[in-house]
Structures are given as C-alpha cells and as structure tokens.
Amino acid sequence: MAAVTAPGNLSGPPAPRRRRRVLVAALTGWVVALSGMSWWSARNDPPTVAEQRDLRQAMPVLREAAGTLLAAAQTGPWVVRLAAPRVEKCRLTPVLPGRNAGQDIVLYVPQGQAEAALDRVAAALPGGWRAGVVPTRAGARLSLFADAGDFIAIEAQAGADDQVLTLSADTGCRPVGPGRDGGGPEPGPEPATLAETVAALGGPAGPAVAVQSVPCPAGGVAATYRATAGASGDGPRGLPGATAAVWSGAGGWAYRNGSDSVVVDAEGERLQVSVTTACRVS
C-alpha cells in the first residue's frame, strides 16, 4: 500500500484577533472619511433643499411665519404678546454644530377657553399650512401643529384649563451661515397705551423701550413694546375705566385696551409693561 503524504502547508486561517483588528481599522478609517466629507460638504456645497438653508437665510422666513401666527392669534378677543426671538445650539451631525431659532407668541385667554382659542387660531392660519388641534388624554391636553413651509414648524402645547398659551414658530437645526441677520422690520412709534400704562403703575416718564417686530401677512407691521414701570405689588391695577382683565395671576395680569394688548408682569421688584399692537401699515 502506498504511503499517504501529509500536505506541505499545515497553517490554518488567520487568527480571529488579527481579523478583528483589520476590520476595526477599516471601519475607523471609513467613519473618519465620512465625517470629513460631511464637514467639507456643509461648508462648501450650495444648498439643494430648503432644510439646508442656513440660519441667516431662514430668519426672514421665520419672522414672516411669526407675523402670520400673531395675526391669527389676534382674530379673537384675547391678549397677545410677541416674545423675543430665541437661538439655541444644536448639532447637525456628530461633528458639525448648528443653531436652532424660534419665535414665540404668548396668548392669554379667559378660563376654559384654551381649546376654543387654539381652534380659532388654527382656522385663521393659511390653508396650505394644514393646521389642526388634537386633544389628548381625554381632552386634558391640547396640541396645535402646522407646517409654515420652508421647514418652519408651528406648534403649541397646552392644558385644557391653561390661560397662558405659547404658540411657537421654529426653524429646526441649521448651519449658522455667514454675515449677520438684518433684524425685524421697522416698528414705527410706540403706542400711547405704553406710556399711559407705565405712568398709571408708577413708572417714569419717557422710559427706555425694547421692541420686537414682525411683518404682517397682508402688509404692515405688528410689534410688542416693553418698558419698566413702578414697584411690584398686588394686581391687577391701572386698568382704564371698566376694563376687565382677561387673565390675572400671581405673576401679573393681561387685558385689552382697544386694539392694543397689554400685559403686566413682575420682574423682581419692578413691573414690566408689554403693549402689542395689531397689524398696521407702517
């Protein structure tokens, strides 16, 4: 019988530990390459879809959406206030930072009218925004959602018994972009209601005034003017004639003076007065 010859090469497949090292090295290189391409693309490629527009480019669109939202909130017999724009840090990718901007409209309504107010705001928004109000938790919570276009989201969350509702327009996370934002439209002179209310609450004549403004959907400008009045204390007080407060609480009160919305709130030991005008041609 012929002898059986063993194979000349008895070495087995590469050790599992060596294969793992090769795979880890390859995967690490691929992740680094992808991160580098993402970083370069975000800084050099032109935008191809709306959500890639940088924050500076999105700010005018955000203000237009906030103006439309404010006008919708002014269709009811409530009180409105335009909050200061907010900008927050966010991340576009794990290695690329961005910014998210928003504009809030604060709506003050009588007790028990939160759902009716949100329904009316949703109905007053453009049809293309597809706005709607969804009650949840057996009607105890209310959610308003709308799409203002250009990836600007509209949202409000409130309890059915809430009297202070926050309506928000939001850009989502975007690259910051070069240059500076031009700011809101020219608001025009401050309303007489502001000086009258500040004086009625023990504040100084000719107070320093901060202004936030947005364009109105049919033209013109709406704005909130804010100034410091007298010392904090129990309220409401300083209301003209037989005017009744739409809302009052430990933090302040709100009422209508003609077409102007007036909000008084305590900030430390001093009262702050905000007067918001209806949309008007500047």
Q: Give the SS3 label for residue 97.
A: strand
Q: Give the SS3 label for residue 189.
A: coil
Residue 58's nearest CA partner among 45, 69, 70, 49 is 49
Domain segments of the chain as ranges: 53-174, 192-276
Q: Give the SS3 label for residue 120.
A: helix
CATH (one of 3.90.226.10, 3.40.50.10490, 3.30.2030.30, 2.160.10.10) for 53-174: 3.30.2030.30
Instruction: Give the C-alpha separation, 97 to 100, whole Å.
Output: 10
pLDDT in tens, the chain (282 residues): 444 444 444 445 555 566 666 565 655 555 444 444 433 443 444 444 455 578 888 999 999 999 999 999 999 999 999 999 999 999 888 888 999 999 999 999 999 999 999 999 999 999 999 999 999 877 789 999 999 999 999 999 999 999 999 999 999 999 988 877 778 899 989 999 999 999 999 999 888 999 999 999 999 999 999 999 999 887 788 888 888 999 998 889 999 999 999 999 988 889 999 999 998 544
| Number of alpha carbons in the 13 Å side-chain half-sphere of residue 53 | 16
Q: Taken in order 264, 267, 272, 277, is the CA torsion positive or negative? A: negative
